[in-house]
Structure 1
Amino acid sequence: MVRIIRNLAVLFALACSSMASAAVEITFHSFNGSVFVGRYPHAFISMEGTLKDGTQIKENYGFSAKKATIAVLRGPVEHIVMTEKEKWLAKTNRHFTLTMNDEQYWKVRGHVAAWRDAPGRYYDLDTRNCIHFVGEIGKILGLKVEYPDDMLRKPKSWLNHVSKLNPRLDARQVD
């Protein structure tokens, strides 16, 4: 009987430690890009970790125009929520990482779905681009976010700006 109780205690302790360590980290990225490489500057997030129910998470999301054409300069165009391949993730600027709880994770996923499923032409270079997409995710996590006009097309500078607005992040400025 003592052995059964001891085994149950060990299993309970393992379950509790597993639940306590359940967390998903979210990292805010920028990609420098270049017109010549065919990849424009971009901001996006990646998430990795474990939810309380044990579900493993490894995802990333960014928001972009569905097609990179001159039409982007004239107003709203068709949009896409995109995911980056591992080779691109390795080449990004990682600005800062936060730990999310399950509720925040599901709010972020709801945001992703809302922008992905928005009807019509939802991408606008000046009012609804990758920076705005990532900024709204930052707000879900309690970050102070601003969208200065001179940074709307400069994801790296903008994420550095968000870092300065939120000193608790203790984030380094990316050159």
Structure 2
Amino acid sequence: MVSFSVAARAEVTVTFYSHDFGKNFPHAFFVAKGELADGQKVDTGFGFTAINVSPGILFGSVKGHVKAPSADYIASSNPHFTVKVSDKKYRELLGVVKKWQAIPQKSYSLNKRNCVHFINDVIKTLDLKTNLKTANWKKPRSFMEEVMKLNPFLKY
């Protein structure tokens, strides 16, 4: 009798989301799931936001942080597209997260460094096209839709 051992194929997918107005501030974030080649499980997500969403964000920089979205928040958000990434690209993506975690406070600026700017950095790390002259820096959903138009192969 011959037996074969077939290793499960390692794969990590990254899904990009936006969250519209409502009870919450508009937001953009990503969720990564899967398994790396070394067997390490991946189930994480990150977005960049103000620590306290208050009128202060309208007037200048405030304290910000990289934050993982809750399962309920993800479920009530809009998925836009999913990409498969290599282990190398996943590690580069985590490098973007670490870079944003290390930005000195006051790190959040609605006009210069918000969740869309963070997601733009992540998307560029994955070698996808973005529009640096976009009018959508404060519009997460519109930004994601623009990225999909610039990269027509993207699908959810």
Task: Give the TM-score normalised by structure 2.
Answer: 0.93
- Taking only aligned residues, the RMSD between alpha carbons, in angstroms, comes to 1.5
Deviation at 1:122, TM superposition (A): 1.4
**CA–CA distance in 2 between the matches of 1:127 and 1:159?**
18
The residue aligned with 2:148 is 163
Task: Give the SS at the match of 1:43.
Answer: strand
Partner of 1:57: 42
Q: 2:84 aligns with which of 87, 90, 99?
A: 99
Q: Which amino acid aligns with 1:138?
A: I
Superposition deviation, residue 104 in structure 1: 0.5
State the match for 2:18 in structure 1: 30
| Residue 66 of structure 1, aligned match among 51, 57, 60 | 51
Q: What is the CA deviation profile of residues 83-108 of structure 1, one whole-angstrom value per residue up to 9, with x for unaligned ones?
A: 11111111111100000010010111
Once the two structures are TM-superposed, the CA of residue 150 in structure 1 deviates from its matched residue by: 3.1
Q: 1:2-32 CA distances to partner (integer Å, 9 max, x unpaired)? A: x6xx44xx13xx13xx2xx201000000001
Structure 2: tracts of 5 or more residues without a match: none
Alignment partner, residue 26 of structure 2: 41
Gap change, CA 1:162 and 1:149, over 3 Å in 2:
closer
Match of 1:84 in 2: 69
Question: Which structure has more helix as a fraction of its residues?
Answer: 1
Larger of the two Rg values belongs to structure: 1
Q: Which amino acid aligns with 2:129?
A: K
Whichever residue aligns with residue 95 of structure 1, its letter is: H
Structure 2: how far apart are the matches of 1:71 and 1:147?
A: 26
Look up the equivalent residue of 2:19 and give its one-letter code.
F
Q: 1:123 is paired with a residue of what secondary structure?
A: coil
Number of paired residues? 156
- Identity, in percent, stands at 33
Unaligned runs of 5+ residues in structure 1 are none
Which structure 1 residue ranges, 4+ long, deviate > 4 Å from structure 2? none
Residue 46 (structure 1) shift: 0.3
Residue 147 of structure 1: CA displacement?
Answer: 4.1
Q: Which amino acid aligns with 1:31?
A: H
TM-score between both structures, scaled by the size of structure 1: 0.84
1:144 corresponding residue in structure 2:
129
Q: State the Cα distance separating 1:149 from its structure 2 match.
A: 5.2
Residues 44-93 of structure 1: per-residue CA shift (max 9 Å, x gap)? 00000000011111101000011112221122211111111111111111
1:122 and 2:107 are equivalent in the alignment:
yes
